[in-house]
Chains A and B, each alone.
Chain A
């Protein structure tokens, strides 16, 4: 069985159509993300938190992630990918400054991943193009992994974050 690289050049048509769909529903995805993340105990404990700090940089991250999907070959054009990393790092840094636990940051990315994956799957079902979605999903997961790593690294490096050694 042939192994495919996540960065394989893809047939731009169907993938672009799916990416366009994701971009169109990005505000709805973000609203659903807010509803899920706001339920986490750490945010429920602060009912006066406004929408902007709760969203952090996720509202900017989602369109950047989708935009990075339609690059024909990320190996040749990594600018969109670097933008994703920059925004994700900003988000991690903001969360670190707020004192948000790192586990919560990871859950935030899991929720985003679930929502985008579900939307991609629903597009695939409607348009009957599983191969396009397979390639797109592969790239999506790679991009979100990269964003998550950038966010966690920035969280660790943000002022006020103290990493305590586990007591033996």
Chain B
């Protein structure tokens, strides 16, 4: 019934009928979207939906680390704040410390997210908060906007 979530980031993974590459991504022409999510079922569902919308999802399971995210070339990061024993806030700090991902647009998702003001947001790229459960269409809209804003910044 269950599998080791580590496989999501460290080895090949199948989402639906698609075979994922070494980093858990699906070969595709669209922008790469990093997914940091400790619930495997949610991560798989997000990967399916993003693939259907033309994105290239890359899943990151535990152990969570900013280095792998930096190496993925992600255009947008989906970050769940509650990561089992790990903290998404700590990971966000680490991502914002890496020079290559300091400006990475990030969508913070959490069922426990209440008031972002309780945390000091690190400087860097734009951050969008989406409390769970969000509508999947709203997520796609937010990703497209962030991808577009990144393209504008880069040009």
Which residue numbers of A lie inside 8 Å of B, CB to CB?
Answer: 27-28, 31-32, 34-36, 38-39, 43-44, 46-51, 53-55, 98
Contacts and interface: CB of A to CB of B under 8 A. Distances in A.
Given A39-B111, A39-B133, A34 B42 contact: yes
B84 A47 contact: yes
Interface string B116-155: 0000000000000000111111000000000000000000
Nearest to A29: B136
22 contacts: A27-B52, A31-B45, A31-B48, A34-B41, A34-B42, A34-B45, A35-B136, A36-B133, A39-B111, A39-B133, A43-B39, A47-B40, A47-B84, A48-B5, A48-B40, A49-B40, A50-B2, A50-B40, A51-B15, A51-B40, A53-B1, A98-B1
A35 B132 contact: yes
Interface size class of B (residues with CB under 8 A): 20 to 34
A34 B44 CA distance: 10
Interface string B1-29: 11111000000000100000000000000
Contacts of A55: 41
Contact of B135 (A32, A46, A50, A51): A32
Contacts of A48: 2-5, 40
B133 A50 contact: no
Contacts of A38: 39, 41-42
A139 to B, nearest CB: 25
Contacts of A54: 41
A43 B41 contact: yes
A51 B44 contact: yes
B33 to A, nearest CB: 15
A51 B45 contact: yes
A122 to B, nearest CB: 11
Interface string B83-112: 010000000000000000000000000010
A28 B49 CA distance: 8
Nearest to A38: B42
A49 B39 CA distance: 7
Contacts of A49: 1-2, 39-41
A35 B133 contact: yes
Contacts of B137: 28
Nearest to A28: B136
Nearest to A39: B111
Given A28-B137, A32-B133, A50 B44 contact: yes
User: What 8 A-B pairs have minimum CB-CB distances, sorted nearest first?
Assistant: A51-B44, A54-B41, A48-B2, A35-B133, A31-B136, A51-B41, A36-B133, A34-B45
B136 A32 contact: yes
A48 B62 CA distance: 11
